[in-house]
């Protein structure tokens, strides 16, 4: 399927590679989206709340586990240095997983009491296993991206999504409760890791056999700026991204956290399809463009492509989220759709900026990423704390979405300027593409003004999405 889709694309490397990565991610995520209506009826909101706490802890520890050396893998000109960085990252991941196992088991009951999620202590031992699977996959996928093995990344993305969704559905049908969700996510994290490790060893064993203790020490020293400057930023970013879920659990309980978690889960789908996939493609392209002196042009072209894809997605999602949740998940999940609306501004600029963040590595400005993550963490924590003071989770989500959205816009302006682009021209592009996106979403607004039913609004959104998809494909791929 992926090969067929690739053959129908233009010869441009960006779109061909992005389709491979995003296509594989999409195949896995489509399964998750298709299963969401069933999962929302098989599991209670509190089950999703516990799953989100587990996933947040895994994500935070996973980012620290490799000391950010995995971010350096695409950077070296020689594959030998890239292989040494890969081996170094995997070694650190194993050590971090062992250390995290000791810590979480010792403090399992305290963690359950702090987060206010009953039953969490019996799942905390799975956190180190999740860290090992997730961190190893991220490291090996960086090596695969370096080797332009985007088809491999796509294939493993499909496997991860299929296994996770299948186990979670089976666990729900068998009434396993929260265990079905947690075990499904854990198995999904490991599935792609095993596959990508086998292929890497089969294709690149020779370059990895050349690794010695001396070359590992050399890589450790040569790329020490990554743990010194990138790691604090990555760690702050991980805490920043997951702190909201953990704070929601602490202040508002498991059920409200479940609403927030499911809203975040669905809003993350376009982010994974566009943002994360485009970043994997842009990083090696930006590194090569830096050596050729064409970084400004490469960045501008990537930004232009992202605008045409991201803004229509966000505009439709923002307008119809509550009605969509009622139709797909059930009437009790409307609040999750309201949360999703307030988070749409953040989602928009995150999808635009995240693919461009490798610029801080290419331009050796890792400290900027650290500063940004620190400021965003303060805004996130402040938003949730203000909401908790008024005992109003919706206020917390609104402040969170607006505050972080403005920060991401500022980060976008900085990255465009740092790459050598004119900010005024980029902002004009943003306004122009934004007007087109608003036109695509306008039928949904009319349907809501006419007090259409939830089904009516959702069907109108489907039609607008189909029209927007045709327009995006025509503008991006048809010429």
64 part of a folded domain: yes
**How high is the mean pLDDT of the chain?**
83
Q: How many CB atoms lie within 10 A of CB 7?
A: 8
19 and 112, same domain (yes or no): yes
pLDDT at 351: 83
257 and 371, same domain (yes or no): yes
CA angle 268-61-222, nearest 5°? Answer: 105
pLDDT at 398: 92
The winner for highest mean pLDDT among 166-175, 354-363, 469-478 is 166-175
pLDDT at 16: 55
406 part of a folded domain: yes
| Residue that wins the pLDDT comparison between 472 and 389 | 389
Among candidate residues 274, 406, 272, 263, the one with its CA nearest the CA of residue 341? 263
The dihedrals phi and psi of 174, each to the nearest 5 degrees, come to: -85, 5
8 and 72, same domain (yes or no): yes
pLDDT digits (tens, 9 = 90+) for 250-296: 888 888 888 888 777 777 666 666 676 677 778 888 888 888 888 88
Q: Which of 16-25, 48-57, 89-98, 444-453 has the lowest mean pLDDT?
A: 16-25
| Residue that wins the pLDDT comparison between 158 and 62 | 62
Residue 178 has pLDDT above 70, yes or no: yes
d(CA 268, CA 247): 19
216 and 266, same domain (yes or no): no
400 and 447, same domain (yes or no): yes
| Residue that wins the pLDDT comparison between 70 and 8 | 70
347 and 383, same domain (yes or no): yes
Domain that holds residue 80: 1-223
444 part of a folded domain: yes
pLDDT at 396: 93
362 part of a folded domain: yes
Q: Is the dihedral of CA 401, 184, 325, 30 positive or negative?
A: positive
Could you tell me the pLDDT band of residue 478, with boundaries at 50, 70 and 90? Answer: low
The mean pLDDT of 189-217, rounded to a whole number, is 86
235 part of a folded domain: no
Domain count across the chain: 2
pLDDT digits (tens, 9 = 90+) for 114-173: 777 778 888 888 999 999 999 999 899 888 888 777 777 777 877 888 888 899 999 999
214 and 258, same domain (yes or no): no
Could you tell me the pLDDT band of residue 387, with boundaries at 50, 70 and 90? Answer: very high
Q: How many CB atoms lie within 10 A of CB 449?
A: 8
pLDDT at 231: 80
Which residues fall within 8 angstroms of residue 89, CB to CB, at 6 or more apart? 66, 67, 69, 70, 73, 139
78 and 155, same domain (yes or no): yes
d(CA 327, CA 445): 17
| Residue that wins the pLDDT comparison between 10 and 194 | 194
Among candidate residues 373, 405, 378, 55, the one with its CA nearest the CA of residue 236? 373
The mean pLDDT of 19-32, rounded to a whole number, is 60
- Tell me the pTM: 0.71
Q: How many CB atoms lie within 10 A of CB 463?
A: 12
Three-state SS sequence of the chain: CHHHHHHCCCCCHHHHHHHHHHHHHHHHHHHHHHHHHHHHHHCCHHHHHHHHHHHHHHHHHHHHHCCCHHHHCCCCCCHHHHHHHHHHHHHHHHHHHHHHHHHHHHCHHHHHHHHCCCCHHHCCCHHHHHHHHHHHHHHHHHHHHHCCCHHHHHHHHHHHHHHHHHHHHHHHHCCCCHHHHHHHHHHHHHHHHHHHHHHHHHHHHHHHHCCCHHHHHHHHHHCCHHHHHHHHHHHHHHHHHHHHHHHHHHHHCHHHHHHHHHHHHHHHHHHHHHHHHHHHHHHHHHHHHHHHCCHHHHHHHHHHHHHHHHHHHHHHHHHHHHHHHHHHHCHHHHHHHHHHHHCHHHHHHHHHHHHHCCHHHHCCCHHHHHHHHHHHHHHHHHHHHHHHHCCCHHHHHHHHHHHHHHHHHHHHHHHHHHCCCCHHHHHHHHHHHHHHHHHHHHHHHHHHHCCCCHHHHHHHHHHHHHHHHHHHHHHHHCC
254 — alpha (psi -120 to 50), left (phi > 0) or beta?
alpha
Residue 9 has pLDDT above 50, yes or no: no
Among candidate residues 4, 22, 32, 5, the one with its CA nearest the CA of residue 282? 22
412 part of a folded domain: yes
287 and 186, same domain (yes or no): no
Could you tell me the pLDDT band of residue 1, with boundaries at 50, 70 and 90? Answer: very low
d(CA 305, CA 197): 32
236 part of a folded domain: no
131 and 174, same domain (yes or no): yes
393 part of a folded domain: yes
Residue 418 has pLDDT above 70, yes or no: yes
pLDDT at 2: 44
Residue 32 has pLDDT above 80, yes or no: no
Could you tell me the pLDDT band of residue 470, with boundaries at 50, 70 and 90? Answer: confident
257 and 393, same domain (yes or no): yes
pLDDT at 292: 83
Residue with tokens 């809003």: 267
161 and 255, same domain (yes or no): no
Tokens read off for 208:
């990895």
Contact of 260 with 244, CB cutoff 8 Å:
yes
Residue 446 has pLDDT above 90, yes or no: yes
How large a percentage of the chain has pLDDT more than 90?
A: 17
pLDDT at 27: 60
Contacts 24+ apart (CB under 8 A), 7-10: 9/477, 10/477
């Amino acid at each position: 399927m992926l090969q067929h889709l690739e053959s129908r694309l233009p010869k441009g490397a960006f779109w061909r590679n992005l389709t491979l990565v995003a296509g594989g991610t999409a195949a896995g995520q489509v399964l998750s989206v298709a299963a969401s209506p069933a999962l929302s009826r098989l599991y209670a909101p509190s089950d999703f709340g516990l799953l989100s706490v587990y996933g947040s802890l895994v994500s935070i520890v996973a980012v620290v586990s490799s000391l950010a050396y995995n971010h350096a893998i695409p950077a070296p000109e020689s594959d030998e240095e890239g292989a040494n960085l890969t081996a170094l990252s995997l070694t650190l991941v194993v050590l971090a997983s062992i250390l995290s196992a000791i810590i979480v088991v010792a403090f399992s009951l305290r963690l359950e009491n702090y987060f206010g999620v009953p039953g969490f202590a019996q799942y905390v031992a799975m956190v180190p296993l999740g860290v090992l699977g997730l961190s190893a996959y991220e490291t090996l996928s960086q090596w695969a991206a370096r080797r332009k093995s985007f088809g491999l990344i796509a294939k493993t993305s499909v496997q991860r999504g299929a296994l996770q969704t299948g186990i979670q559905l089976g666990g729900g049908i068998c009434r396993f409760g929260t265990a079905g969700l947690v075990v499904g996510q854990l198995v999904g994290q490991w599935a792609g890791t095993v596959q990508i490790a086998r292929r890497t060893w089969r294709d690149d064993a020779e370059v990895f056999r050349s690794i010695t203790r001396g070359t590992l020490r050399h890589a450790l020293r040569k790329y020490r700026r990554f743990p010194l400057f990138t790691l604090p930023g990555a760690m702050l970013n991980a805490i920043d991204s997951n702190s909201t879920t953990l704070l929601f659990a602490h202040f508002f309980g498991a059920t409200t956290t479940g609403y927030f978690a499911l809203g975040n889960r669905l809003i993350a789908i376009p982010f994974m399809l566009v943002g994360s996939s485009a970043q994997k493609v842009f990083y090696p392209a930006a590194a090569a463009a830096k050596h050729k002196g064409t970084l400004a042009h490469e960045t501008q072209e990537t930004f232009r492509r992202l605008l045409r894809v991201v803004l229509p997605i966000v505009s439709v999602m923002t307008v119809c989220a509550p009605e969509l949740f009622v139709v797909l998940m059930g009437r009790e999940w409307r609040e999750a759709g309201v949360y999703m609306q307030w988070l749409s501004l953040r989602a928009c600029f995150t999808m635009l900026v995240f693919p461009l963040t490798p610029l801080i590595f290419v331009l050796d400005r890792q400290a900027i990423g650290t500063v940004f993550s620190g400021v965003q963490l303060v805004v996130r924590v402040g938003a949730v704390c203000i909401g908790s003071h008024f005992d109003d989770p919706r206020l917390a989500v609104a402040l969170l979405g607006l505050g972080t959205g403005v920060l991401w816009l500022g980060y976008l302006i900085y990255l465009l300027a740092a790459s050598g682009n004119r900010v005024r021209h980029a902002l004009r592009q943003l306004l122009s593409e934004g007007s087109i996106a608003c036109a695509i979403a306008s039928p949904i607004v009319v349907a809501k003004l006419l007090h259409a039913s939830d089904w009516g609004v959702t069907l109108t959104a489907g039609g607008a999405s189909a029209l927007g998809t045709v327009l995006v494909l025509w503008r991006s791929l048809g010429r």
